Structure 1
Amino acid sequence: MPPVPALPFSGRFRLTTRTPLVALVTLVLVGCEGINPSDSAAQTRTLPPSRPTATGPVPAQNIDASRRTAITTAVERVAPAVVTVQTETVERVRVDMFEYLLGGRSGERRNAGIGSGFIVRNDGVIVTNAHVVMGATSVSVAMLDGTTYRATIVGVDETNDLAVVRIDARDLPVAQLGRSSDLIVGEWTIAIGNPFGFVLGNNEPSVSVGVVSAVGRNLAGQTSGGGVYIDMIQTDAAINPGNSGGPLVNANGEVVGVNSSIYSPSGGSVGLGFAIPIDRTKRIVEDLLEHGVARHPWVGIRLETPQVQSAREVASVGAVVARVAPGSPAERAGVRVGDQITSAGGRGVRNPFEWEARLLDLRVGESLPITLRRAGRDVPVTMRVDDAPEVTAPKVTVLRELQLVTVTDAIRQERGIASNAGALVFKVSDRIRDEIGLQEGDVIAQVGRTRVTSAQQVSEAIDRQGARGAVVLVFERNRQYFQTQFTLR
């Protein structure tokens, strides 16, 4: 990853048909069956005329009835609740001063984005993908009839690529939510959304139809949404850019997934689309509405990283415990380094993907029975799922828009942090993300020349250096170190 640039805080085929001879002979034999050429009676026998066929038009009512199917009914139920999500982001760009004086670029570039979503509550609550709204400075929602509302972002969960936005409206059509746990491979699926946005010239969502190709798919490759997607629904219903965040619907007209990504070497649909299961979506939406953040289940287990050459090899490497966080549910349950997890919650675990998928099914506070393979025997244990340690840790607010948490051994092991100490960026505003370059999950390790060991120490060091001039931060991201600089206003 390239270093994050220092950003000032202060404003800165001819087809030929050939009938085989055998087939021709067969047709002739069938046509002459029951006639003996040596029989004179047979030679003068007259064959009865063929029965006339109906030539009249098919009644119109039969045609109309055949046009209506379960699919058309399902679309009628859901389409009114499908919306277009429009976003705008502001990007800082370098400006040549001579160009600026001549009326050129102002130092900002505005980029428009578009996706889909669907209404889940009649008071304006809408579900979409996190990657549709992440970093947006403004969000608006267009309804089926073209009415557009300004929207606010209620919460975003990047881990599951889900977001909730809200508009100020009442008595809206609502999409009925189904269940993804009882999906049948081969059953109909319908993807509804706005591929390529307003290039198509209107607000009405488009529909593509396919089947459930597979369930429980784990992706770690070229997907349009980016990142790693766990325990997904695979469908061959066409999903294209702009479909992101729209509903995947079954033949009953129920939403069973949120269209999120495609696997494509070309950027267009090749029949490999993926949706986030609706059962997981319900849980995340509840968390975002109630807490503003998703409560991710934590048990304190970190697995060995498999040394493999392809994603296919990962499927059978097993799930071997590499670290157990101190004070974690796993430690309390007696899990040890070197144990192999073979099942969790009554479902088999064969690789790290399947372990992560089992965790996604959980809510904080629930119990998780797992089976460990240790020294050639099976050991059953049960863990109570907790919040991630940084969620319950004390927070220190810096610059009024930045929440920091002191890095503990549990946090360091859970997140794989290289620094022995520092302050974890727990929450950050869009303004500080854009102007300073800090992101949630970064670890501030140094302020100026001072190594820091706590969130409070970071706050104090920023205040001291900010009073004298520029503040320089050294921070860790993905086990690499970067530097940023800003001044206080």
Structure 2
Amino acid sequence: MRLVSVLGLLSLAVACEGASPSISDAQGSPPAAQQLLPAPDPRPDAINTSRRTAITEAVARVAPAVVTVQTERVERTAVTPFDAFFGVRSGSQVVPGLGSGFIVRNDGVIVTNAHVVSGASSVRVAMRDGTIYPARVVGEDELNDLAVLKIEASDLPTAPLGTSRGMLIGEWVVAIGNPYGFLLGNSEPSVTAGVVSGVGRNLTGRGDGPGVYVDMIQTDASINPGNSGGPLINASGEVVGVNSSIYTPTGGSIGLGFAIPIDRARRVAEDLLAHGAVRRPWIGVKVQQSGATAARGSLNSGATIETVVPGSPAEDANLRVGDVIVRSRDRQIRNPYDWEAELLELRVGETVDLMVRRGAREQRIVVRVRDLPDVGAERVAVLRELELISLTPAIRADRSLRSERGALVAKVSDRVSQDLGIRTGDLIIQINRTPVADAQETARVLEYYIGRGPIRMFFERGGAIYHTDFRIR
């Protein structure tokens, strides 16, 4: 640039050599300013076509449907000595949260991650133009880390959904979202580009969300805080995944991002819209799990059945402990992670062709998929914020519980979970000195102790027994 400027001034001086020193032209008016560089064409359609690429066209197609999801969550805080002096027994604070999402139906249906809205007391959605709508959570599926929101609006832009099947390693993909929200100064979504680094990825280590991350799309397109729930799109401008997790030792993107395949997300969203919940497929087997540090050879040896639940579809189909599942439908089952991924793809009510290795032979076994055994179980409400299910042999075997009797926590409010320290999946086995056999007895005992003093409740979690102390007033 310095050389170009000097040459420009030199040529101007040569052109003026020998001219009159007057600063006026022949008519006495100052000469018009000389234009050294052409002015840019102000017309928006005058952009050089070489700058328009498949990526810019894809972004233009999807970006209008990308939204910012703003949440607020009330969390309990420790009481300071200053507060305690004035008689404050408990405290709380409102914690803001942020994520992304994309509109899949023009009447305001939005897909995002479950961990973006989990536990939120309020959810709002900000559009690309800055318009903000209150949002209702239609349903969440924590296992798949997906959620569906609804805002009251119409004629909204929608993101075209593609398919995650047949993706090519190395093909261009684009992650769109709102990292760090409005810290960047406006409501326009951010765009990062990369390639498909891998498909069918199973995360055996720490990720960025609470779900089961199997059969994922891996990309080196940067996914940062706030990108969760946004779309991953291909070069045709179609959504192929939902950005959900990163693997990072630093807290920031290091080029290991993961997206939930859109085919799975579509099925989950349809279930949530139709039923408010996802019907979880179940055949009644537990397979041996390989740890993250297991030998590489175990990642290609199939999924070995460790337990067959009594009365389950697996038992009806004559599956046995020690059988090795090597194929399900058209999916090769190389390891337990592939089997977990296949379970997420199955539908309740359908029949599945399995190929299992039994001894030295392989044989075909047909299994009919059913709901989880606790889905149709009677639920007992306790104090309006706790739902219990009586333990049955099928539930006990499916959840690998040690206790033979008790009440399974099917649902618990965030407040009770924080106050009592219990969570969904815990098995209540005793209250004070009274062992409880089922959900009905647990409800009766808890109601008896209302206003009668301290309660110590024993429960099983992860094969261990814990207790919690509380009062009911």
Query: For 2:417, which of 427, 433, 447 is the aligned residue?
Result: 433
Deviation at 1:235, TM superposition (A): 0.9
Mark the CA change 1:104 to 1:149 in structure 2 (over 3 Å): closer, same or farther. farther
Deviation per CA, 1:390-448: give whole Å up to 9, x if none: 11112111112222111112111211222222111112233323333332212111122
Mark the CA change 1:189 to 1:444 in structure 2 (over 3 Å): closer, same or farther. same
Once residues 130 and 117 of structure 1 are traced to their aligned partners in structure 2, the CA distance between those partners, rounded to angstroms, is 11
Q: Which residue of the partner structure matches residue 488 of structure 1?
A: 472
Q: Which residue of the partner structure matches residue 229 of structure 2?
A: 245
2:303 partner SS? coil
Q: What amino acid is the match of 2:218?
A: Q
1:453 partner SS? coil
RMSD: 2.3
Q: Which residue of the partner structure matches residue 343 of structure 2?
A: 359
Once residues 339 and 411 of structure 2 are traced to their aligned partners in structure 1, the CA distance between those partners, rounded to angstroms, is 27
1:342 partner SS? strand
Query: For 2:75, which of 73, 91, 99 is the aligned residue?
Result: 91
Whether the 8 Å CA contact 1:301–1:323 is kept in 2: the answer is: yes
Once residues 312 and 267 of structure 1 are traced to their aligned partners in structure 2, the CA distance between those partners, rounded to angstroms, is 28
Whether the 8 Å CA contact 1:389–1:410 is kept in 2: the answer is: yes
1:371 partner SS? strand
Once residues 70 and 307 of structure 1 are traced to their aligned partners in structure 2, the CA distance between those partners, rounded to angstroms, is 41
Once residues 378 and 137 of structure 2 are traced to their aligned partners in structure 1, the CA distance between those partners, rounded to angstroms, is 25
Once residues 308 and 122 of structure 1 are traced to their aligned partners in structure 2, the CA distance between those partners, rounded to angstroms, is 43
Query: For 1:136, which of 117, 120, 132 is the aligned residue?
Result: 120
TM-score (norm 1): 0.84
Q: Does 1:406 align with 2:390?
A: yes
Once residues 342 and 316 of structure 1 are traced to their aligned partners in structure 2, the CA distance between those partners, rounded to angstroms, is 9
Whether the 8 Å CA contact 1:396–1:456 is kept in 2: the answer is: yes
Deviation at 1:317, TM superposition (A): 4.3
Q: Which residue of the partner structure matches residue 460 of structure 1?
A: 444
Mark the CA change 1:169 to 1:314 in structure 2 (over 3 Å): closer, same or farther. farther
Q: What amino acid is the match of 1:198?
A: F
Q: Does 1:319 align with 2:303?
A: yes
Q: Which residue of the partner structure matches residue 393 of structure 1?
A: 377
Q: Does 1:176 align with 2:171?
A: no
Q: Which residue of the partner structure matches residue 135 of structure 2?
A: 151
1:280 partner SS? helix
Mark the CA change 1:185 to 1:105 in structure 2 (over 3 Å): closer, same or farther. farther
Q: Which residue of the partner structure matches residue 357 of structure 2?
A: 373
Once residues 126 and 312 of structure 1 are traced to their aligned partners in structure 2, the CA distance between those partners, rounded to angstroms, is 40
Q: Which residue of the partner structure matches residue 337 of structure 1?
A: 321
Deviation at 1:383, TM superposition (A): 0.5
Identity across matched positions, percent: 58
Q: Which residue of the partner structure matches residue 258 of structure 2?
A: 274
Q: Which residue of the partner structure matches residue 68 of structure 1?
A: 52
Mark the CA change 1:290 to 1:433 in structure 2 (over 3 Å): closer, same or farther. farther
Q: What amino acid is the match of 2:394?
A: A
Q: What amino acid is the match of 2:342?
A: R
Deviation at 1:308, TM superposition (A): 7.2
Deviation per CA, 1:333-372: give whole Å up to 9, x if none: 0001111111111221121001111111111111111011
Deviation at 1:170, TM superposition (A): 2.1
Mark the CA change 1:364 to 1:144 in structure 2 (over 3 Å): closer, same or farther. same
2:202 partner SS? strand
Q: What amino acid is the match of 1:332?
A: D
Whether the 8 Å CA contact 2:204–2:292 is kept in 1: the answer is: no
Q: What amino acid is the match of 2:225?
A: P
Once residues 204 and 227 of structure 2 are traced to their aligned partners in structure 1, the CA distance between those partners, rounded to angstroms, is 20
Q: What amino acid is the match of 1:340?
A: V
Unaligned runs of 5+ in 2: 1-36
2:449 partner SS? helix
Deviation at 1:143, TM superposition (A): 0.9
Once residues 257 and 58 of structure 2 are traced to their aligned partners in structure 1, the CA distance between those partners, rounded to angstroms, is 20
Once residues 385 and 69 of structure 1 are traced to their aligned partners in structure 2, the CA distance between those partners, rounded to angstroms, is 46
Q: What amino acid is the match of 1:223?
A: G
Q: Does 1:450 align with 2:434?
A: yes
Query: For 1:202, which of 186, 194, 206 is the aligned residue?
Result: 186
Whether the 8 Å CA contact 1:367–1:385 is kept in 2: the answer is: yes
Whether the 8 Å CA contact 2:145–2:210 is kept in 1: the answer is: no
Deviation at 1:307, TM superposition (A): 6.7
Deviation at 1:268, TM superposition (A): 1.5
Q: What amino acid is the match of 1:180?
A: S
Which stretch shifts more, 239-248 or 92-101? 92-101
TM-score (norm 2): 0.86
Q: What amino acid is the match of 1:209?
A: A
Structure of higher RCO (CA pairs closer than 8 Å, 6+ residues apart): 1
Q: Which residue of the partner structure matches residue 218 of structure 2?
A: 234
Which stretch shifts more, 82-91 or 305-314? 305-314
Q: Which residue of the partner structure matches residue 278 of structure 2?
A: 294
Once residues 413 and 205 of structure 1 are traced to their aligned partners in structure 2, the CA distance between those partners, rounded to angstroms, is 47
Whether the 8 Å CA contact 1:306–1:317 is kept in 2: the answer is: no
Once residues 398 and 342 of structure 1 are traced to their aligned partners in structure 2, the CA distance between those partners, rounded to angstroms, is 44
Mark the CA change 1:398 to 1:103 in structure 2 (over 3 Å): closer, same or farther. closer
Unaligned runs of 5+ in 1: 1-55
Once residues 84 and 107 of structure 2 are traced to their aligned partners in structure 1, the CA distance between those partners, rounded to angstroms, is 46
Mark the CA change 1:476 to 1:235 in structure 2 (over 3 Å): closer, same or farther. same
